[in-house]
């Protein structure tokens, strides 16, 4: 039987990371003397990596040195606290286990810092992830297709045998740029109407709907 490949985004797709991201960015902002943000604010800031999160979170008058300081404080704090409140979305572990049983490779591709991607995959999905890649030197971030193409190459799977599952416009664009199908979930950081306006056309509103669409 030919192997198929399901590539998942992380934040907002398989893991609800928003509380830990909010706590960490607010710790860094407060430490550096800047005002904090609500969780809804942070929800809008995430999706393009932690440096972009920091740049969107600092006030307009912050300089490059301020941004770098907040970035370093955030990284150090989040490394210690990325598992405090983060949890898999309901039903996601069962979805991944079932896809594995049905012969799928499972990968995670994220703009999240690679250290956090690796740690969280091991913590919440032990033995289930065949390949995981986060933001790292030498690989362009999503929506560039580089990370997705690296996964397909490493696992020797063709685009027509692959699907990308995510919760944001970045994920939609990533799948398009990589030449693979996209399944968009609606429980993450962007709402359905926003996603539809940005090209999403196949949706899952609950985790088990992923299985209905893939097997």
Q: Domain residues for 193?
A: 4-16+87-214
CA distances from 177 to 7, 149, 180 (A): 14, 10, 8
The rounded percent of the chain whose pLDDT value lies above 90 is 93
Q: Specify the 3-state DSSP secondary structure of 185.
A: strand
Q: What integer is the mean pLDDT of 28-38?
A: 98
Does residue 134 sit in the same domain as residue 181?
yes
pLDDT in tens, 169-205: 999 999 999 999 999 999 999 999 999 999 999 999 9
Does residue 69 sit in the same domain as residue 119?
no
- C-alpha span between 151 and 154 (Å, rounded): 5
Does residue 105 sit in the same domain as residue 58?
no
Does residue 92 sit in the same domain as residue 72?
no
Last residue of some domain: 81, 96, 123? 81
Q: What integer is the mean pLDDT of 93-122?
A: 96
Does residue 150 sit in the same domain as residue 66?
no
Q: Specify the 3-state DSSP secondary structure of 181.
A: strand
The answer, yes or no, to whether residue 76 has pLDDT greater than 90, is yes
Q: What is the DSSP string of 31-68?
A: HTT-----HHHHHHH-SS-HHHHHHHHS-TT--HHHHH
pTM above 0.85, yes or no: yes
The rounded percent of the chain whose pLDDT value lies above 70 is 99
Does residue 135 sit in the same domain as residue 77?
no
Backbone angles phi, psi at 5, to 5 degrees: -125, 125
Task: Give the CATH number for residue 41.
Answer: 1.10.150.240
Tokens of 130: 């065949």
The answer, yes or no, to whether residue 44 has pLDDT greater than 50, is yes
- C-alpha span between 42 and 19 (Å, rounded): 9
pLDDT in tens, 48-72: 889 999 999 999 999 999 999 999 9
Does residue 126 sit in the same domain as residue 51?
no
Does residue 27 sit in the same domain as residue 97?
no
Residue 73: the pLDDT is: 98
The answer, yes or no, to whether residue 1 has pLDDT greater than 60, is no
Beta-carbon contacts of 42 under 8 Å, excluding residues fewer than 6 positions away, are: 18, 21, 22, 25, 53, 57
pLDDT band for position 138 (cuts 50, 70, 90)? confident
- Closest CA relative to residue 168, chosen from 64, 49, 33: 49
Residue 2: the pLDDT is: 58
Number of structural domains, the chain?
2
Does residue 63 sit in the same domain as residue 129?
no
């Amino acid at each position: 039987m030919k192997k198929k490949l399901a590539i998942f985004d992380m934040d907002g797709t398989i893991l609800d990371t928003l509380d830990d991201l909010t706590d960490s960015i607010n710790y860094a902002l407060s430490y550096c003397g800047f005002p904090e943000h609500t969780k809804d604010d942070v929800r809008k800031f995430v999706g393009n990596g932690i440096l972009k999160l920091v740049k969107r979170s600092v006030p307009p008058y912050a300089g490059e040195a301020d941004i770098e300081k907040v970035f370093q404080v955030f990284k150090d704090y989040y490394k210690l606290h990325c598992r405090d409140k983060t949890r898999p979305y309901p039903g996601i572990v069962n979805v991944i286990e079932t896809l594995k049983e049905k012969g799928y490779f499972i990968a995670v591709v994220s703009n999240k810092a690679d250290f956090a991607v690796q740690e969280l995959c091991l913590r919440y999905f032990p033995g289930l992830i065949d390949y995981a890649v986060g933001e790292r030197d030498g690989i362009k971030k999503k929506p560039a297709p580089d990370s997705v193409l690296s996964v397909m190459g490493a696992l020797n799977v063709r685009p027509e045998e692959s699907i990308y599952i995510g919760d944001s416009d970045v994920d939609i664009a990533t799948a398009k740029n990589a030449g693979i199908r996209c399944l968009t979930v609606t429980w993450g950081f962007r709402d359905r109407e926003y996603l539809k306006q940005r090209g999403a056309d196949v949706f899952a509103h609950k985790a088990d709907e992923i299985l209905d669409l893939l097997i």
